[in-house]
Amino acid sequence: MRKNFNIDYTLVFILILLGIISLFTLYTIEPTLPAKYDGSNFFLKQAVWYVFGGIVIFVIMQVDYDRFHQLTWVLYGIGMLALLMLFVGFPPGIVHEANGAVSWFKFPVIGTIQPAEFMKVVLVMTIAHIIVRHNEKYLTRTIKSDLGLLGKILGIALPPMGLVAVQPDLGGFLVLGAITGAMILVSGVKWRILFSITFIVLDIVLLAVAIWYFFPGPIADFLEESVFGHVSSRFTGWLNPEENYDAGYQLILAMMAIGSGQLLGKGVGDFQVYVPERHTDMIFTAVSEQFGFVGASLVVTLYFLLIYRMIHIALLSNDKYGSYLVTGLVGMFAYQIFQNIGMSIQLLPITGLPLPFLSYGGSSTITYLLAMGIVLNVHSRTREYMFSEARWRE
């Protein structure tokens, strides 16, 4: 045995760099924010969240991640209860609504807490637990057992996805879907089953696009009258922002800000384009406008290295449960990073997703650092033996 306890210092260094970029960007943005944010001190608050998140990582590192098996259903139950409380609006004193979405609890001292953020990590833990227990029970894989595993995973994933969707929180819904999809891919389910499901999903998507194309009016009216009314406006604002300025103005401003940075940027604090919600969902535009293509490329490179290290840890782990945990978190981070940056450059429709580790937000920052604590925990307890498969993969 070559090591018993090891810290991935490369991953820690990447997190520190992302934290520095976040705090620096929030500090430069603050003077340019609208008057309603005067005195908010986002820079200082984010620094506090990072310190608290560091404490969370330290605490998580002290517990063997295998102990999470014992907490899985308790945490899942708490997460579902919190989402149900938002759904029914109880208790009315602390349920908070913003931008048409009922997604937060607001407490006098702590501030706002978004249960959907923490549910992402809980869902990863729950699905990993289900896959491990199922595969231990069914050593011989059959179509019936694989379909049973799929049914269990979907039975656990769909309820929180549904409760998040009706808040409405399309971004959170898609992240939970990305987590579920990533973990199904590594669950051991036969590829022919996965391909069949993929073709069915693609057919449904193509049918939906065809219906939208041939009957845009009725579909738009139907969505506008439902809880998903914002979906229609965001979709049209994404496809034709100039023709649908009310829905696409944020996208237009975001691309103007990113483009104006050109190669090297305008310089620190030189913001000439106002972009709504720049300290949260649109923080990538602030990096691009100040430091141009070079600064934006640095951020993208750091995210690439972050995902690469996480995938390496998942492959290196000689414990199935640890591998599944990290894989689910890879799906969570990879999708959010791609979605947030993609929506800033019109590659994807705009959804209310923060950029991990950069955007301001207490619930999101603590959730991401909690997730990284789990990843570091898995790596620190990965043991290598002279003739282990993990050693030869290096």
Ranges of each domain in the chain: 9-65+116-200+247-393
Q: Phi-psi category of 292—alpha, beta or left, where left has phi over 0 and alpha has psi -120 to 50?
A: left
CA 379, CA 59: separation in Å to the nearest integer?
Answer: 15
Q: Residue 3: what pLDDT?
A: 45
Give the integer Cα–Cα distance in Å for 15 and 65: 21
pLDDT given at position 169? 87
Tell me the C-alpha to C-alpha distance, in Å, between residue 206 and each of 33, 172, 202, 215. Answer: 41, 23, 6, 14
pLDDT at 394: 47
Q: 226, 217, 126, 206: which is closest to 166 by C-alpha?
A: 226
pLDDT, residue 85, reads: 93
Two tokens, residue 40:
């908010």
- Count Cβ atoms within 10 A of the Cβ of residue 175 and give its class: 0-12 exposed, 13-18 middle, 19 or more buried: buried
Distance CA 203, CA 344 (A): 28
The alpha carbon torsion through 369, 374, 378, 379 (nearest 10 deg) reads: 0
Helix 216-225 / helix 229-239 crossing angle, nearest 10 deg? 140
User: What are 155-161's contacts with CB under 8 Å, separation 24+?
Assistant: 156/76, 156/123, 156/126, 156/127, 156/130, 157/123, 157/127, 159/80, 160/79, 160/80, 160/83, 160/116, 160/119, 160/123
For residues 176 and 164, is the Cβ–Cβ distance under 8 A? yes
Other C-beta atoms within 10 Å of 242: how many? 10
| Residue 388 pLDDT | 52
- Tens of pLDDT along the chain (394 residues) come to 344 558 889 999 999 999 999 999 999 999 888 878 877 889 999 999 999 999 999 999 988 888 898 899 999 999 999 999 998 887 888 888 877 788 888 887 777 889 999 999 999 999 999 999 999 998 888 889 999 999 999 999 999 999 999 888 888 999 999 999 999 999 988 888 888 888 888 888 888 778 877 776 676 666 666 656 666 677 777 877 877 777 788 899 999 999 999 999 898 988 888 998 899 999 999 999 999 999 999 999 999 999 999 999 999 988 899 999 999 999 999 999 999 999 999 888 888 889 999 999 888 999 999 999 999 999 998 866 545 554 444 4
Asked if 280 and 171 touch (Cβ cutoff 8 Å), the reply is no
Using the 8-state DSSP alphabet, how is residue 103 labeled?
E
